Copies of this chain bind each other. A is one copy, B any other.
Amino acid sequence: MKMSNEFNIREERNLSMLMDFYELTMSNGYFVNGVSNTIVYFDMFYRKNPDGGGFSIAAGLEQLVVFVKNLKFTRDDVDFLRSKGVLSEEFLEYLLAFKFSGDIYAIPEGTVVFPNEAIVTIKAKVIEAQLIETMLLLTINHQSLIATKASRIVRAAKGRPILELGARRTHGADAAIMGARASYIGGVSGTATTIADQMYGIPSTGTMAHSWIQFFGDEYKAFETYAKTYPDTCTLLVDTYNVITSGIPNAIKVSKDVLEPIGKRLKAIRLDSGDLAYLSKKVRIMLDAAGLTDCKIVASNSLDEFIITELLNQNAKIDIFGVGERLVTAKSEPVFGGVYKLVAVEEEGEVVPRIKLSESEEKIINPGYKMCWRLYDKNTHKAIADVITLTGEVINEAAPYIIFDPVLTWKKKKVTNFYAKKLQVPIFLNGECVYELPTIEEIRDYCKNQVDSIWDEVKRFSNPHKYFVDLSHELWLVKQELIRKYRNLEEKNEK
């Protein structure tokens, strides 16, 4: 298996121009107004877990790293931009020499994350921070969405392997490839997408489509040919005509005629239509009666975490689930709503927090240059709560730590017997990548450990327990002060 970071022949594509055009109009504006060396701070965070879940899985950082490393504008790019007629010649010249020189901190891929936590924080000159916005959001939003969905589906299957089969229904080639990658981070066992194996080492597998059976016209002949070609890995698709009267009898006959005489076993049969609970139970009895107790039953057909839960509640005899479109498009909620917000500006060497107000208290952003901590119970090693602090604050593990709800501030909790871990790690410092990308297997294992560190109550698919993500007292004060300042301004305007 190839490791993700030593094999990226297909990533040569220059996606630097994949940005909202307003990044360019703003950047040109900063440039021509002489403020382009101002250092700013941006947070990428999200406000709501998909599907009403209790947490999400961060993913997509590796592609952000590759993007930032390769970020550059060619003469062709600049010629194209000039043709738009709105950007200054000086700014276009600047773009030709552009190189990201800022700092990026991020929560590693595979980490359990919660709303309002900065998955990525940027400290950079304002133009550099703007020009990476679109791709940063795109890659983190996409892969976090799919990893989160995969984690749900994997948990629904209660230990049974999930295979990702959805390439044909994805939103373009990257959605297939990165979707397979993110699904693997979230815990699926493999993919059907060959190129995801070649590029990122996601184990790929596959056997036959209905076309194989239709091609031979005769189902027995099709199965027999396959068994002779692949005696060691024989999985047969049994629903082209009729599972019970044709598919399974033919599969059993091929096992007896072709495989067993040469000491081989029928590995699995696959059901791809019909009532999977009813059929799998009936098929299990037929296979067992024929001595094929070791033959696995694979099931597919528009599955997701809800249908898998129901099937298993009805004792469906399914050993492996193939999951397609509902995983790789995150069909039930196909948007991970990550946003990228300016939280501070350096003015004469001082970091001045910025805010964006909103009618809804919960939607007001957390201002300032910040970091995020997770408090773990020393005995159970389960996560207790997360705390967002200003950068530079330290959480003293030796003393009890008081957390409080940032809106309903009378809701307090004293945390004792805990240790605190910083969630963000440095990725780029002064434009240099300082982060060693983990292998895909390391990310997947880490993700499993992360999910294990969360209480079951937070993992319910519906109506989960709400995990605390609180603000330090210091940060809370900064936020209140800024809200007060802008509300006062508003009142003055109203007069």
Contact = CB atoms under 8 A, between A and B. Distances in A.
A490 B198 CA distance: 42
A455 to B, nearest CB: 30
A36 to B, nearest CB: 11
A342 B215 contact: yes
Given A192-B22, A206-B23, A226-B29, A142 B165 contact: no
A167 interface: yes
Contacts of A139: 172
Given A214-B354, A241-B357, A358-B273, A206 B246 contact: no
Nearest to A242: B490
A347 B110 CA distance: 52
Interface string A128-154: 001001110111011001100000000
Interface string A324-356: 011011110011111011100100000010111
A217 B354 contact: yes
A194 B17 contact: yes
Interface in A181-227: 192-195, 197-198, 204-212, 214-215, 217, 225-226
Interface in A467-495: 486, 489-490, 493-494
A171 interface: yes
A436 interface: no
Contacts of A230: 25, 29, 86
A194 B334 contact: no
Contacts of A329: 171, 334-335
Copy total for this chain: 2
A208 B28 contact: no
Interface stretch (A8-16, A288-296, A397-405): A8-16
Contacts of A358: 273
Nearest to A19: B194
Contacts of A345: 214-215, 217
A410 interface: no
B212 A21 contact: no
A283 to B, nearest CB: 15
B335 A194 contact: no
Interface string A116-136: 000000000010001001110
A206 B126 contact: no
Contacts of A141: 168-169
A206 B165 CA distance: 37
Contacts of A352: 217
B194 A21 contact: yes
Given A168-B20, A211-B42, A335 B341 contact: no
Contacts of A240: 356-357
A172 B138 contact: yes
Contact of A170 (B40, B138, B273): B138
A207 B28 CA distance: 11
A249 interface: yes
Given A174-B172, A212-B26, A217-B354, A20 B194 contact: yes
Interface in A281-313: none
Interface of A: 2, 9-10, 12-15, 17-26, 28-30, 32-33, 35, 38, 40, 42, 76-77, 80-81, 84, 86, 126, 130, 133-135, 137-139, 141-142, 145-146, 165, 167-179, 192-195, 197-198, 204-212, 214-215, 217, 225-226, 229-230, 233, 240-242, 245-246, 249, 273-274, 325-326, 328-331, 334-338, 340-342, 345, 352, 354-359, 486, 489-490, 493-494
Return the 5 tightest CB-CB contacts between A and B, nearest first: A172-B174, A21-B206, A22-B206, A137-B168, A171-B175
16 contacts: A13-B13, A15-B195, A18-B177, A84-B204, A137-B169, A138-B176, A142-B171, A145-B171, A170-B171, A210-B342, A214-B355, A214-B356, A215-B345, A241-B486, A245-B490, A246-B493
